[in-house]
Amino acid sequence: MKKETRKNTNAGDKKDPGDQDSKSRMAKRKASPEKKTPEKRRRVTEQAAPSTSTDTHQAKGMKRKAQQDGAGTTSPPKKIKLAEPTSSDKEQASSSVDAGKDCSPNTKGCTKNGRRKSEGDSKESPKKKKKDKTKNVVQNTAADQQREFQGRYVQEHHLGKGGCGVVFAGYRITDHFPVAIKHIPKDKIPIQVTDKNGKQVSMEVAIMLKLAAEADGSVGTSAPVSLLDWFDFGTELILVQERPVPAVDLYDYIKENGGCLPEEKAKVILKQLVDAAKDLEEKHIFHRDIKSENILIETSSDVPRVRIIDFGLSCFAMERSRFRFFYGTAIHTPPECYRGKKYRPGPTTVWQMGVVLYEALHVGDFNTETFLQKELEFNKHLSSHCRNFLDACLTNVPKKRPTLGDLQLHPWLR
């Protein structure tokens, strides 16, 4: 079964929409498998919202693939003080890509009046000495972090490549607890947040630390996978997360079940997913990219259990926050972005619930553009409650969509 990948845009790859193709395309899932290994749909970062024609987004990498094994408990990761989210309508997160680049001409080695220093001028300015000292401290700190990581964890085989980094399987040395180790190059961090000390911190780290601090019970009890540890290697960040086992992502879970799920099985998954999304909303966390590739299904029991992964595009947001740039999967862009409107966390997440449900119940991928053109086919054998739930999530006008709380009370999930 071969699919085109879902293309995404990256915060560091902003281009003039006029220079980009105007179409994002996808291929239907086939009911019968083919010999070729399917390409995974790629995950995105940023898309300018206002455009009546869909911009083609540069693919930044394939989804994180989860082949997991193990369980256990752990101590909480190290903490940082974070600034509380506010109700500002402006996007608070800023891209770290190209931040602080000097746009002035290169004047290295020149004196103040522009003359180049002589070879014999061996005196270093106090400013340069201070800079070198700071650089050495950073290098020493990074080396210490690497030694600490190597003393705690063993990294094994490659799991997958995401939009912002690469993920490996591994385990914790003390108890062989299975972990997923995510490497994120500093220049690939899409969103940063300023902590209370004025230091720039990866938004993904900040989000997962908040989730870890507010989690009830031990590791593995919440829907989002837990952050166990994180390290700063200087040129890259290392995130160590729990690796549930046995588990498979929803995308592959659907494929293994013949390309679509029975309605009752889809209901079990959607009920857990809506509850998890509502919990994130109450914590003022906007995942932004909930889709089948970012949902793990634990298969250790007869009842599948939902886990949410990949908070690389997430951010803190209030209920009435509005965003101009769409961070997520291009073919899942909510209709309001096609109309040049800003989008809100709640209605966008509800839209994504509909996208996930559609793909669970149909042999094929959801595509917003095809949906808006009324060319998307729907299963005629769905129950009336199920079809009503699906239609409600996929309502064109965001104000008319139900809230996540409304979905929890919908007759189909009762």
The residues annotated with a catalytic role in the active site are 289
As a whole number of Å, the CA-based R_g of the chain is 23
Are the C-beta atoms of residues 269 and 386 closer than 8 Å to each other?
no
Distance (Å, whole) CA 239 – CA 296: 18
Name 101's Cβ contacts closer than 8 Å, sequence gap at least 6: none
Distance (Å, whole) CA 356 – CA 299: 19
Note the helical H segments in 54-167: 126-152
For strand 192-194 and strand 200-202, is the pairing parallel, antiparallel, or unpaired?
Answer: antiparallel
The secondary structure of residue 371, as a DSSP letter, is H
Burial class (CB in 10 A: 0-12, 13-18, 19+), 299: middle
Tell which residue, 101, 102, 96, 100, has the closest CA to residue 188: 96
Distance (Å, whole) CA 63 – CA 164: 10
CB neighbourhood size of 391 (10 A)? 11
Distance (Å, whole) CA 29 – CA 37: 13
Tell which residue, 234, 247, 66, 242, has the closest CA to residue 157: 66
For strand 295-298 and strand 236-242, is the pairing parallel, antiparallel, or unpaired?
Answer: unpaired
Note the helical H segments in 190-334: 203-214, 250-256, 263-282
Are the C-beta atoms of residues 273 and 410 closer than 8 Å to each other?
no
138-150: string of b/e by CB count within 10 Å (b at 16+)?
A: eeeebeebeeebe
